[in-house]
Chain A
Amino acid sequence: MSEMERLERLAERLRAVDPVMPSPGAKIRGWNLVLAAVEQSATARKRTHPVRRLVLAAVAAAVLLVAGAVAASADSLPDSALYPLKGVVENVRGALAFSPSDKLAYHLDLARTRLTEAEAMIARHRLDLAGQALSGMNDQLNEAALVVQSEQQSDPALAASLENRLVQAIATHDQQLAGLQGQVTNPTAVAAITQARDRAAQALQTSSGKPSASPGNGKGPSNSPHPTPKH
């Protein structure tokens, strides 16, 4: 008998082996266990899905809320509930300004913003907040002046360019403040504006490293240093 024939006979014998089947009891036990697992699995799926949806919805709502609040805070005024958020956003912007030019632009932009806020607060008769805004404007101009000053030694050409931008900004602010000063009658407001103009002039001297001039007498635009941009 050839090998093929022998193996074919063996294969036929294997096919004839009676299949070993589970007992009925084993099958019932098996189904009960499988059913319990299937039910548990389905329950877990149902339980997980609503939770996931809820979490996703909450995250999306939080993102929208934060993004909306940040956007709305950009134009908020000192008497607004969103105003503190505006400060946070401004600080983040400041942290991202690395070059002297960017830093100067950042501080000048904030000075302009504070001045706008001061005008709005004066219009609403919130002189306390107007004073704070003007003080903030002067702080930003001082910071800008320090940026210019820090470049005087290392890069005089750059410092001159930066100083020119600072002078232009202060001149613009001074004009705006002078106009404002002519419109208000409240002595507190007048004093605050006068002080702001004097401090702005001091900032200009700080940028060039010159000693600070004595504060103005607060009598009006004619008493301010009247900075003139260099061209």
Chain B
Amino acid sequence: MQPLGKAASDDDRPLIERVRRGDQDAARILFERYFDRIYNYVYARLGRAEDAEDLAIDTMTRSLTRLDLFQDQGVAFSSWVYRIAHNATIDHYRRQGKATVVPLESATMPVSADPSELAVEQLSNEDLHEALRALTDEQQQVLILRFFQDLTAAQAAQIMGKSVGAVQALQHRALGSLERALHGRTTN
């Protein structure tokens, strides 16, 4: 998965105009540019390949057929696509009737936990994914965007509608919560 630099956002503009005029080749380029990323993002949130596939397709369909709703006023097309994916994920949770996740800061954690003993190198990818899904919605989002999607803090801030400072603080808290969640998993 290629890093999503600023250049990609700039390159999107002419493609968007072409798609608006019905150019299918331009739509194909945008699809290729974002489908894998969106699939990866949704999978990290849901953990099920079938659901991730459906939501990624739904996100790309909405993105490329509702361009009349996209106004290029300071928000990059990439941020708009991620927001659609995020909303689709939230809708999916609602349809599935998933209970609201309790923020780990307020959850009961083992008092004797010693996070320094956690051997992160030995953690499996699946352990990390599952621990991540135990975090709050925003904490999951910031960690996925920053570390799985390799976006900058500024890009994550635009997608989440927050300031860069707020994203950095959220990221710090999210990593702490993830550490505690992982420690809880290894001690249980």
B65 A38 Cβ-Cβ under 8 A: yes
B143 A14 Cβ-Cβ under 8 A: yes
B128 A19 Cβ-Cβ under 8 A: no
Q: Is the interface of B mostly helix, strand, loop or mixed?
A: helix
B39 A22 Cβ-Cβ under 8 A: yes
* Segment with Cβ contacts to A, from B78-86, B113-121, B156-164: B113-121
B31 A34 Cβ-Cβ under 8 A: yes
Residues of A within 8 A of B93 (CB): none
B175 A20 Cβ-Cβ under 8 A: no
B1 A21 Cβ-Cβ under 8 A: yes
Among A17-34, those with CB < 8 Å from B are: 17-23, 26-27, 29-31, 33-34
A33 B61 Cβ-Cβ under 8 A: yes
Residues of A within 8 A of B61 (CB): 33-34, 37
Q: Which of A9, A13, A40 has the most CB of B within 10 A?
A: A13
Given contacts A13-B121, A17-B128, contact A27 B24 (CB under 8 A): no
- Interchain CB contact (< 8 A) of B27 among A17, A18, A35: A35
7 contacts between A and B (CB under 8 A): A10-B179, A11-B146, A13-B128, A19-B1, A19-B40, A20-B52, A38-B24
Closest 6 CB pairs of A and B: A14-B147, A42-B22, A41-B65, A7-B175, A22-B39, A30-B57
Chain B interfacial positions (CB closer than 8 Å to A): 1, 19, 22, 24, 27-28, 31, 35-36, 39-40, 43-44, 49, 52-53, 56-57, 60-61, 64-65, 115-116, 118, 120-121, 123, 125, 128-129, 143, 146-148, 150, 172, 175-176, 178-179, 182
Chain A interfacial positions (CB closer than 8 Å to B): 1, 3, 6-7, 9-11, 13-15, 17-23, 26-27, 29-31, 33-35, 37-42, 45-46
